[in-house]
Structure formats: structure tokens, C-alpha cells
Chain A
Amino acid sequence: MTIWIEVAVKTLALLLMIPLAALALGYSELKIMAHMQSRVGPMEAGKFHGWAQLIADGLKFIQKEDVIPEAADRSVFALAPVLSLISAFLVFAVVPFGSGQRFWFFNLDIGLFYALAVSAISVLGVLMAGWSSANKYSLMGGLRAAAQLMAYELPLVLAAVAVVIQAGTMSLVGIVEAQANFSILGIPVPYVVPQFAGFVIFVIASVAELSRTPFDMPMAESELITGPLTEYTGFRFLFFFMAEYAGMFALSAIAATIYLGGYWLPGVPDNIAPAVGPVALVAKTGLIAFFLIWIRSTYPRLREDQLQKFAWKVLIPISLVNILVTSIAVVFVSDVQG
């Protein structure tokens, strides 16, 4: 019986967390970008620094008319935003927020593999949206998204493979624990130090997977209006909007977990570790998310062919070399210890 209560509570928490994470991140982006661009950002809604802006936006979206183009493939059109959002939910299910059963939803043995696999589903939603909208801009955006998936899923996974080799496990909890036991010259460091190349590749590939600037070709407002989302209105658009930010939070959380040590902080005594864990993870996630926002307000957009070239000619070779070096190092170190 208790297991059902636990599952119910955790599911509810998961369902609540997605909109919360999306809101928090969306609001941070509004504010951070505003300051980087010498604007003030939202200031009116809710009086204090416009904190209620995104809630107001959400309410506005819900009130909007739900328009489905006449020529659209209705069922696919309706399914696409849901599918996009679901992928973010599924990733969250394996992110550990602290040590101990209470702090993760599921500890899969293949957690990292699963997270990367389901995070790719969001692209499927975008592709479906592009195809079903019966709009040429949407179609082009959808195809760009698909091409981008091919190019960027590979370096993303290859970068993560090096981490798996080093940690010796695919479980996210296991990877965090491996980092807690890892040290260079007696100084405890997270995997970002030995896997720095992998970390950079992972973050770049995440930006591409999230279709954010400089890899936002599928959405490219100045070229394709908003690409696959062009025909979406009201709450369907809101779903995509939420999926974008939830996805950003989820991928940042994965990156924070496998490279920055997740919920683990060095030197925290065991008795307060459970309290510190979730805060540490959110802070590390925020750090990576901030970086993504920073990139967005700095760079222009690449062209699709340049992105492909960058992925296949730069990122994939580097990540393959990274795997090779990691494997040799792991074998060498275990030989020395053995």
C-alpha cells in the first residue's frame, strides 16, 4: 500500500515540478536577458519586478482561440505539443535530487541512456508539428529540426559515453556517487575537470537539441516565422513554450548531474546532506541554464549547413577522441590500482 502512496506523491510532485521549472526558468530568462540587453524587463504584473508576468502570459494563452488550420492533419497536430512536453516529464523522472530513495523518482540502472533517449522525443513533437500544420514554413522548420537531431544527438551521446566509461555505470545516482569518490591529487573534483572537452560538447549539443540560439534554425523567426509553431495558438502554443523551458531545465539538470556532481557537494557533513542536495542540484542546474541564456543573448544564428559541418567535422571527432582517451586512462588507472 505504501508504495502506491509513494508513487502517487512522486507523480504529483513531478507534474507540479515541470510547470514550476518552466516558469522559474522562463522568468529568469526574461530578467537576465533584459539586463544583458540594458532593458528592465517585465516590471508591471504582480507589482514586484513583474514576477507574475509569465502567469499572466499563461492565462492569456488559455483564453486564446484554439485555431487548427483547415488543411492540417488534426490528430497529429493535436498530439505534437503533448509529445513535446512529455519528453521533458520523462527526463525529470530519473534526475536524482539527493542521496536516498526519497529524492529521486526512479533510479534506473540505465538512467543516463534513458534520459538522453527520451529527451530526443521532443524533436519528434516538433517534426510532427511541422508536418501536420500544412504550412510551408512549418514544414521547413520541422525538417530542419529533424536534420538537427541527426547531427546533434550523436555528439551528445558520445560525450555522455565518456562519462559512463569513467563512472562505470549508467545510473545517474551511480554517476553522482562515482564523482563523490573521485579525486585528482587528493582534491575532490566533479567530472567537469577530467571530462572538460566532453562537458563543452554536451552543452553545445544541448543547445542544438533545445533549438536555442545559435542553433535555433528550426524556429528562426526572421526566416521561418516560428517554424513548426507558426500555426499554433493558445494553450497548444503554451505547451510548446513550456516544453522548451522544461526541456532546458531537464537537460541542464542532466548536465549538472553528470558533470558537476549533481546533488553532491564536497565537504558537506552527512547529517545535512539531504537538505543541501536538492539546493545544490538546482543551483548547478541554474548555473548551466544561465550559461545557455547568456549564449542566447550573445550570438547570431548559424546556417543549417554550417551547423551540420560543425557537428560532423568538429564535435564528433573530438568526442570520439575523448572516449578513446578516457578509456585508456580508466584502464591505466585501474591497472595501477589493481
Chain B
Amino acid sequence: MSTAGDLAESVRAAAHAADARVSVDIDTGDMKLNIGPQHPATHGVLRLVVELDGEKVKSVKPVIGYMHRGYEKLVEVRDYPQVTTLINRIDWVSGFCNEIPFILGAEKLLEIEAPPRATYLRTLLCEMQRIASHLVFFSAYPLEVGAMTPMFFAFRERERVLDVLESVTGGRFHPNFNRVGGLFKDIPATFRSECAETMDAVRNVCGELDNLIVGNEIFMERTVGVGVLPPEIALDYGVSGPNLRATGVAEDIRKTSPYLAYDQVNFDIPTGENGDCFDRAKIRLREIIESTYIIDQLLDSLPSGPVMAKVPKVIKVPEGEIYVKGENPRGEMGYYIVSKGGGTPYRVKIRSGSFSNISCLEYLLDGVLVPDIIAILGSLDFVLGDVDR
């Protein structure tokens, strides 16, 4: 670290100058600071090269790629059923949602349709995953603006949600539950009551979080008017998900081009007004509540029947191309699948929410203070695995 050497050098120089009792010109040059790749608030390995004048940001350059695992290439040598294992790990906080668009794409290419019960359960588990994911936001974000307690409250209920997910899929983080043509298994007998109870608990913790953090004076002070993203700029950068809706654009794939059973349930799309950090947090809280109601409706109208369609033992997808997208907790998750026939995809392009969402960082971080860097970073709720893939 040569800069540390420079610092020590300037300390020595200053001491020397003081000894000699001569006035020194204090050098107030800009400081270059590497925030990350190892830093508590960068959610993993994002690196920001920041030029600072005091605490004010003069320029910022995000550097990504530390987490690149080459998934697009890896899926080219996997069978279709094997791919879900990998894409689970793109955005590891919402594994189940990652599987959906890919499986839907494969099913469309194969011209298989999953049974209605499977579709409903997929929708339900997707919303469950959205709740778990947004609760992670409510643990990380308060920590980043300095509040410790909301994290434990959010994690307490997230654990219950994950328990329910686990009772169905067997996995807390990586369910790997979708199959081409349906689901691996039906839900256990206790699912209904557990699920309903958990939804009550989640609504309860949303009230607590609203009191403790979103309605908190200091939290508002830190987030209202900070990191304002105008809707047109958000659209230019391809920002999606809650970050886009916070700017006031009511764009939600679940509504605008419904997939799964989303056209069978009633729900609102919460939108913000100012597109600042506060709106981004508030919207996620309201989305959690909407999701609990979606789950309640799906539980009530869950059709009976099998959860797996008739599919051939060895899946061979006919030639074709398809782009399928879904509304992930972090924005639009899409797969462009190219098949040249055979058991493995020829090429898959993965479009993930976080990558586009953090592309507006340079715009957002221009001229802000150091504490606001962290507040803005956290409010975008990105996952590095989702950025780098």
C-alpha cells in the first residue's frame, strides 16, 4: 500500500516542518479510496474506486467481476434438469425465483405444461422466497445505516419462512425443487397451517419494522432525499424491480405480463414517489405485505391434482430460441435460451436484476458524502452473485 507510505511520509514531513518552525503548505489533494472488494457494506465483493475531497465524493468507479463464476458457460454442458442446481446460486437469496423463468422457458420449448397445482405452488413458493429475500434487505440495510436491532427481528421471521420452504423443498437456500414439467414433490400435510401461521408472523414483523426503522426519525433523516433516481434515468439504465417502482413507474412483470398463476390473484403494486432510498425501503416493506396476501389467496384456491406432468425420461429439447422473464425480488430475471436440439442448451444468456440496478451507481453516487455511499449502496439491494453470475 504505497499510499499508506505516503501518509507516513507526510506525517514525517509535517513533524520535520514543525521542528524547523516553518509554515507548511497543507496539501489538500483528493484522496483515493478503495471501498471493497473486502468491506462490510459492499455485500460481498463489489469494489468502488472513490475519489474523495474530504468526505465528498468527486468521482466513483464501480468495479465488478470478483464473483464471476461463468454460469452462462457452465449451463452449456449441463442437462436441462441439472441447470436448476446452478442457477439457484445466481442470486442466492432468492434461489427459488431464479429457477422459475428457466424452467418455464424449457417447458415452452418442449411444449409441456405443468399441472395447475404445480403452477400454483410455484407461485406460492416464489412469493415465499420474495418475503425471505426482502427480509434480508431489512436486516442488511438498517445495519448499513447503523441500526442493529431490525436485523434480528427480520431474521427471526425469515427463519420461519425458510423453515416452511425447507419443509417443502428440503433446502433453505437452494431449493432446487423445480423440474421440467412440474415440481419434485407435493407439499407436506402440515404445510397449510404452518404457512398461514408464518404469514401472520411476517405481517406482524412488518409492523415492528415499520415502527422501528421505516418510521424512525433518524432513518428518514438518513434516507429521504438521498440517492434520488428519476424514473427516466432508471429506465435508461434498465433498473427494474422495487428500485424502479420506487421511482413511481408501476412496472411489475407479475402484472404487466403475468406468468405462473399471478393472473389468478389480486394484489397491488406499491410504487414510490421520489425514488430515494427511503422509498426503496418503504416499497419493499409493502411488497412483503402484498406477498403475504398473495400467499393467503393461493392457499385458499390451491387446486388438487398431480404436481408433475408427463415428461419423457430423457429430456431432449427441440431446436428453438426463447426469452422468458420473471419478477425476482431484485428485478427482472430473464433467460434467453437457445436450443439446437439435444439434452443441453446451446447457449443461455442470463439477465439479472442486480447487474442493471447497480449500473446507475455512477449517477447516484456523484457528489454525495461517504455515509451516503453506503446508504445508497444498501438501498439498491443487490447481490454480488446476481451481478457477476
Residues of A within 8 A of B (CB): 33, 36-39, 69-73, 131-132, 134-136, 139-140, 213-214, 216-217, 220-225, 296-306
A306 vs B218: C-alpha distance when bound (angstroms): 10
CB pairs A–B below 8 angstroms (10 shown): A38-B152, A71-B1, A73-B11, A140-B55, A222-B41, A223-B374, A297-B148, A300-B142, A300-B213, A301-B147
Q: Helix, strand, loop or mixed for chain B's interface? A: helix
Flag whether B4 is at the interface (Cβ < 8 A). yes
CB contact between A134 and one of B4, B147, B149 (< 8 Å): that residue: B4
Provided the pairs A222-B374, A300-B216 are in contact, do residues A136 and B221 lie with their beta carbons within 8 angstroms?
no
Flag whether B40 is at the interface (Cβ < 8 A). yes
Asked if B4 contacts A302 (CB within 8 A), the reply is: no
Interfacial chain A residues near B5, Cβ < 8 Å: 71, 134
Asked if B55 contacts A304 (CB within 8 A), the reply is: yes
Asked if A300 contacts B369 (CB within 8 A), the reply is: no
Provided the pairs A38-B153, A220-B371 are in contact, do residues A136 and B31 lie with their beta carbons within 8 angstroms?
yes
A214 vs B373: C-alpha distance when bound (angstroms): 18
Provided the pairs A214-B218, A225-B39 are in contact, do residues A304 and B371 lie with their beta carbons within 8 angstroms?
yes
B146-192: which have CB < 8 Å to A?
146-149, 151-153, 156
Q: Within the complex, what minimum Cβ distance (angstroms) separates A304 from chain B?
A: 7
CB contact between A298 and one of B39, B212, B369 (< 8 Å): that residue: B212
Asked if B370 contacts A223 (CB within 8 A), the reply is: yes
Asked if B371 contacts A72 (CB within 8 A), the reply is: no
Asked if A69 contacts B4 (CB within 8 A), the reply is: yes
Asked if A299 contacts B147 (CB within 8 A), the reply is: yes
Flag whether B350 is at the interface (Cβ < 8 A). no
Interfacial chain A residues near B31, Cβ < 8 Å: 136
Residue of A nearest to B212 (CB): A298
Q: Within the complex, what minimum Cβ distance (angstroms) separates B7 from chain A?
A: 5
B4-49: which have CB < 8 Å to A?
4-5, 7-8, 11, 31, 33, 39-41
Asked if B371 contacts A300 (CB within 8 A), the reply is: no
Residue of B nearest to A136 (CB): B33
Flag whether B372 is at the interface (Cβ < 8 A). yes
A33 vs B1: C-alpha distance when bound (angstroms): 38
Apart from A37-B149, A136-B31, A298-B149, what 6 extra A-B contacts exist at CB < 8 Å? A72-B8, A131-B11, A134-B11, A220-B371, A296-B148, A299-B216
Interfacial chain B residues near A217, Cβ < 8 Å: 371
The 8 A CB mask of B125-159 against A (1 = contact, 0 = none) is 00000000000000000111111110111001000
Asked if B153 contacts A222 (CB within 8 A), the reply is: no
Flag whether B219 is at the interface (Cβ < 8 A). yes
Q: Within the complex, what minimum Cβ distance (angstroms) separates A59 from chain B?
A: 26
Asked if A300 contacts B152 (CB within 8 A), the reply is: no
Asked if A134 contacts B8 (CB within 8 A), the reply is: yes
Asked if B213 contacts A303 (CB within 8 A), the reply is: no
Interfacial chain B residues near A301, Cβ < 8 Å: 145-147, 218, 222, 371
Residue of A nearest to B370 (CB): A223
